[in-house]
Amino acid sequence: MSERTNTFLVEEPLGTLMRKYAVPCIISLLVAALYNIVDQIFIANASYLGSYGNAANTVVFPLTVVALAIAVMIGDGCCAFVSISLGSRNRENAHRSIGNAVVLCVGASLVLTALYLVFSDAILTAFGGRVNEETFAQSREYFFYITIGIPFYMFGQAMNPVIRSDGSPRFAMASTLLGALVNVILDPVFIFVFHWGMMGAAVATVLGQVLTAVLAAWYLLHFKSVRLERSSFRLSGPIIRRFIPLGGCSLLSQISLVAAMAAINNMIRKYGALDPIFSQAELAQIPMAVVGIVMKFFQIVISIAVGLAAGCIPIVGYNIGAGREDRAKGLFTRLLAAEAAVGAVALFIVELFPRQLIGIFGAQNESAYYTEYAVKCFRVYLSMMVLATVNKGTFIYLQSLGKALASTAISMVRELVFGVGFALLLPVFFGLGGVLYSMPVSDVLTFLVAAVVIRRTYRELDAAMAQGHSAQGGAEGAPAES
């Protein structure tokens, strides 16, 4: 098998490369997000599950994100490191990092599965599962079967960016798409035909994840740019310490969502009990179900934003490794414009069509309070999505430059300091409505930080370009050796 070079990454037009890499990445991430969303849509439209099932799905969702966070930390970090290594012609580091990523992912997934199975009740309680007894019972059922599939889910998600770094974004997309298709087909069969309820939704999801994992394992044996050997899978501390930090931003962006949802779910449970409407036992699950649905729509938008930026990682990493900072700068400009456009379109949809959106999630089977709260939630909670998408693109672009510490630090400020902090603080003053204000306030403050980072990044790239031109000029002007 001949090994292929990726020199086209410094030769093809940036717009062409961005479409080639970002579009499949976006589709892959959208499909991954749709796994949970599809479950929720079918659950919401099953009259015997309804808002209780929706609330249970909301409780379990952040726990699947924990698995995703670990997987993308390994996968995105490996992807960035492999791209930089190939750009600098270091194939040894490239193949060893891929093998180490595989071993780390498998080990981490087994540990997480064991923890989930042993401490399931305590974990579900911590994420607001005891809003009422029916919600808790459905959460337990759904969580058990989802947990069984964690190793397959993590392996498929971790290998997806690694496959993209090998120059095969379409295969990465197709493997995820086929898994999601299995889920979409089996969900209505298991829920409406077999009446398996939450178990049916979970089993359909897991079977799709198994297919994606099997396809990823097949690709491991057919890498194009490097040859995987037995030594590739021998753990190496120096290699791991170099690529894991590059996935730090991806880890934090996902794990912080978990922390924010834990805070939000518990604030909803606490202040919903004080609300004159949702303090009623038969309506107590509505705020949690609705906020979960709105966050799923936000997850779709953020998947597009992350896909745009993550798709650029191999391109930027290779060009930086090859000394083409001018192309890295051009790609950054295109990325920021695309991120802002995505946020603007999403904002237009949620502000004008919130009733239509909530209608997809079984509003016709619920009380009027369900729809009214959902409309308010869509319009307030997601009101600053333009800033949210630009912020996300900026953080991930820093990863592609190898700036793991800066990327992780800024993400920590957004997700943990602002995201969790305001989710806990604002409800104290504004009650249940304070939960909704936490997102836009966090995005505005984060953009002020991101604007400084964007300006500094442009200056650094300009300086690197000037230094490169100076060095080239000096070399051309030097006298020839006799």
Average pLDDT over residues 265-283: 88
Residue pair 229/97 in contact (Cβ under 8 Å)? The answer is: no
Is 409 or 198 the better-scoring residue by pLDDT?
A: 198
Going by pLDDT thresholds of 50, 70 and 90, the confidence category of residue 66 is: very high
Average pLDDT over residues 266-276: 90
Looking only at Cα atoms, what is the longest distance across the chain?
Answer: 92
Going by pLDDT thresholds of 50, 70 and 90, the confidence category of residue 2 is: very low
- At residue 158, the pLDDT reads 94
Q: Which residue has the tokens 């000029």?
A: 473
Residue pair 300/37 in contact (Cβ under 8 Å)? The answer is: yes
Q: Which structure tokens are listed for 55? A: 């609330």
Average pLDDT over residues 64-76: 92
pTM for this entry? 0.75
- At residue 11, the pLDDT reads 77
CA quadruple 151, 240, 68, 265: dihedral sign: positive
- At residue 100, the pLDDT reads 95
CA–CA gap between residue 157 and residue 143 (Å, rounded)? 19
- At residue 239, the pLDDT reads 92
Q: Using alpha carbons only, give the angle 191, 192, 198 rounded to the nearest 5 degrees.
A: 20
- At residue 469, the pLDDT reads 60
Going by pLDDT thresholds of 50, 70 and 90, the confidence category of residue 33 is: confident
Is 233 or 472 the better-scoring residue by pLDDT?
A: 233
Q: Is the pLDDT of residue 253 over 90?
A: no
Express as a percent the part of the chain with pLDDT over 70.
Answer: 94
Going by pLDDT thresholds of 50, 70 and 90, the confidence category of residue 461 is: confident
CA–CA gap between residue 321 and residue 23 (Å, rounded)? 23
Task: Specify the DSSP class assigned to residue 129.
Answer: G
Alpha-carbon distances, residue 42 vs 60, 61, 64, 203, 342 (angstroms): 16, 15, 18, 13, 27
Q: Is the pLDDT of residue 144 over 90?
A: yes
Q: What is the rounded average pLDDT for all residues in the chain?
A: 87
pLDDT tens profile 278-337: 988 888 888 988 998 898 889 889 889 988 988 888 888 788 877 888 888 888 999 999
- At residue 190, the pLDDT reads 97
Going by pLDDT thresholds of 50, 70 and 90, the confidence category of residue 482 is: very low
Alpha-helix residue ranges (DSSP H) falling in 382-431 = 385-400, 404-412, 421-430
DSSP 3-state of 244: coil
Going by pLDDT thresholds of 50, 70 and 90, the confidence category of residue 1 is: very low
Q: How far is CA 449 from the centre of its chain?
A: 21
CA–CA gap between residue 219 and residue 353 (Å, rounded)? 42
Going by pLDDT thresholds of 50, 70 and 90, the confidence category of residue 132 is: confident
- At residue 481, the pLDDT reads 38
Region of poorest pLDDT, from 59-73, 290-304, 400-414: 400-414
- At residue 471, the pLDDT reads 56
- At residue 36, the pLDDT reads 67
Average pLDDT over residues 2-7: 57
Q: Is the pLDDT of residue 478 over 50?
A: no
Q: Which is nearest to 76 in space by CA: 223, 250, 319?
A: 250
Going by pLDDT thresholds of 50, 70 and 90, the confidence category of residue 118 is: very high
The segment with the largest mean pLDDT, out of 81-85, 118-122, 257-261, is: 118-122
Q: Is the pLDDT of residue 168 over 90?
A: no
Average pLDDT over residues 156-180: 88
Average pLDDT over residues 35-53: 84
Q: Is the pLDDT of residue 473 over 70?
A: no
